[in-house]
Amino acid sequence: MSESIPASSVLAGATRRLRKGLQHPLVTHAARLGTPTRLRILAYHGIEELANFESAVVRILDDYMPVNGDDIVAALTDRRPLPKWSVWFTFDDGLKSTLDAGETLAKHGIQATAFINPSTYERPSFLWFQILDMAESQGVIAPTERAKFSRKRLKECPDAERRAAIHELDGRLDPASKTLTASGSLSDLRDWVQLGHEVGNHTWDHPCLDNCDGEEQRRQVERAHEWLVSNHFDPRFFAYPNGNWSSDSEGAARRLGYSASVLFDHHLERLHGNPHMLSRLRISDSASRSRSASILSGAHSGLYHAARRLHSL
């Protein structure tokens, strides 16, 4: 008697084998060689392990040339070409572990950009998904509430609903777990800039902009901007939370004179299109050597998008 294998598991198996193939050094090498003029904008969040991160950075610099915010502005406004195989290091959410990596980055000649949410700097606090993480790890979400508090739903529901759900979870957390935030301090941020790095705008408190009305979108970008300017960080780049582009937030960034805004879409960037829709590659310091090389080369991005298209069929 034969049993049929579900199409989804065949697809998952094929994707796994393809991913392994695309991480082969020859494939990675060929993908990198074929894309010398593409900019790699790396989108990290925090750094889990600084020594691992430093090793990964050293490997990246064997094959790619770091560029900074000035280089990006010159490329966008003056059409000044970037070096071949350029890489721009960016970090989202203003996590302390990012700011703690500032010296390591500077030691290797990298000037990075950290996109921060000033709400967590003005008053020590957590971003909404950090509260959700804590609620999940502290087991304060009952099995019957899983759908109500699912990350997917909270990313898609109206902003007020998400805020109410997170407020409810916040009230259930162990108070002792809320004494330290994941963000750095203003002084950490100043040290980061002192090392040659840059601070960008990631909205006031990281909503899903596409679920906010136009006025709230503008307020989120402008309030973060005002805080950054009043603390002398002079932002010139904006990162859409979760990479969710919206015309109102793009308009707000443009009106404030920002040079560019970045997505979270896992593509290499050509720098020929809308400067307020620059593609970034998703990466973390825990990625294996072969995965990291595949991501930087562009091979991983190709597979990622092909697999998403297949799964949506």
User: Which residues, 6 or more positions from 36, have their beta carbon under 8 angstroms from its beta carbon?
Assistant: 84, 85
Residue 265 found at the interface with Zn ion (CB under 5 A): no
Give me the least distance between CB of 301 and Zn ion, in Å please.
Answer: 19
Residues 82-121 vs Zn ion: string with x where CB under 5 A?
----------xx----------------------------
Give me the least distance between CB of 88 and Zn ion, in Å please.
Answer: 17
Give me the least distance between CB of 92 and Zn ion, in Å please.
Answer: 4
**Chain residue at closest Cβ approach to Zn ion:** 92
Neighbour tally for 33: CB within 10 Å: 10
Stretch that binds Zn ion, among 94-102, 145-153, 223-231, 237-245 (CB under 5 A): 237-245
CA distance 252 to 74: 22
Q: Check if the beta carbon of residue 89 is closer than 8 Å to that of residue 112.
A: yes
Give me the least distance between CB of 192 and Zn ion, in Å please.
Answer: 17
Handedness of CA 87, 203, 236, 277 (dihedral sign): positive
Give me the least distance between CB of 126 and Zn ion, in Å please.
Answer: 13
Type of residue found at 16: R
Type of residue found at 184: G
Give the residue from 285, 286, 311, 288 showing the smallest Cα distance to 300. Answer: 288
Comparing CB distances to Zn ion, the nearer of 92 and 205 is: 92
Comparing CB distances to Zn ion, the nearer of 22 and 239 is: 239
Give me the least distance between CB of 54 and Zn ion, in Å please.
Answer: 23
Comparing CB distances to Zn ion, the nearer of 197 and 202 is: 202
Give me the least distance between CB of 129 and Zn ion, in Å please.
Answer: 8
Comparing CB distances to Zn ion, the nearer of 69 and 241 is: 241
Token pair, residue 142, equals 């009952």
Stretch that binds Zn ion, among 53-61, 167-175, 233-241, 254-262 (CB under 5 A): 233-241
Give the residue from 207, 210, 198, 177 showing the smallest Cα distance to 258. Answer: 198
Token pair, residue 107, equals 């030691």
Comparing CB distances to Zn ion, the nearer of 77 and 286 is: 286
Type of residue found at 146: R
Stretch that binds Zn ion, among 24-32, 132-140, 183-191, 234-242 (CB under 5 A): 234-242
- How many residues sit in the footprint of Zn ion (CB under 5 A)? 3
Token pair, residue 193, equals 């800039």
Comparing CB distances to Zn ion, the nearer of 38 and 197 is: 197
Binding residues (CB under 5 A) for Zn ion: these are: 92-93, 241
